[in-house]
Chain A
Amino acid sequence: AQSVTQLGSHVSVSEGALVLLRCNYSSSVPPYLFWYVQYPNQGLQLLLKYTSAATLVKGINGFEAEFKKSETSFHLTKPSAHMSDAAEYFCALSGGYGNKLVFGAGTILRVKS
């Protein structure tokens, strides 16, 4: 069985502050892990992916995530938040080629000026 847990349904940071969105996973097979971002009334855009290569993954818009097998985590970070980062972020897991994505419940990021 596979599952994704995102800690914190809402995260609020000040502009320029560190962004940390937490994601833990459970998988019976080596996972592929993803972070997607969704702006209001829009589709899901891929931020970054982990596919069993480098454990520190860099994505678009200055985001990065580190795969930690010992902690079964894949937390998303950005050193300095920008107002345009305000959106909902989904962590997702796949068990391999052709497998569906299993999503976490999502974290809404609010950026305060």
Chain B
Amino acid sequence: AAGVIQSPRHLIKEKRETATLKCYPIPRHDTVYWYQQGPGQDPQFLISFYEKMQSDKGSIPDRFSAQQFSDYHSELNMSSLELGDSALYFCASSRISTGANVLTFGAGSRLTVL
């Protein structure tokens, strides 16, 4: 079965650079979520999209932005990177119509800021 695809799996950037992470949800899933997991921490919700519209916003820095495109894939853009942005970034997708809000997570994109 198709899963949530994230790219790149690993990314190394310098401080003040920009990074873009991509997420391809499971086909027919209508909602995408982004989470940030720092070292030894639980995943923290950043932002979500339902049918290409932002549906909820969590602790996402102003330096970050995200959007969902017409093909339902989503991109998380991070600018002016800081050392503290080093983390594992997860994308998850769900299909609200199936109920129970079961999120399926991708394998994550590991960002290292040097």
Contacts and interface: CB of A to CB of B under 8 A. Distances in A.
A43 B108 contact: yes
B101 A44 contact: no
Interface in A23-81: 32, 34, 36, 41-46, 49, 51
Nearest to B50: A98
B45 interface: yes
Interface residues of A, number: 24
A49 B56 contact: no
Given A43-B90, A43-B107, A44-B90, A97 B42 contact: no
A69 to B, nearest CB: 17
B22 to A, nearest CB: 15
A41 B90 CA distance: 12
Interface in B8-55: 31, 33, 41-45, 48, 50, 55
B72 interface: no
B43 A100 contact: no
A90 B42 contact: yes
Contacts of B55: 98
A49 B42 contact: no
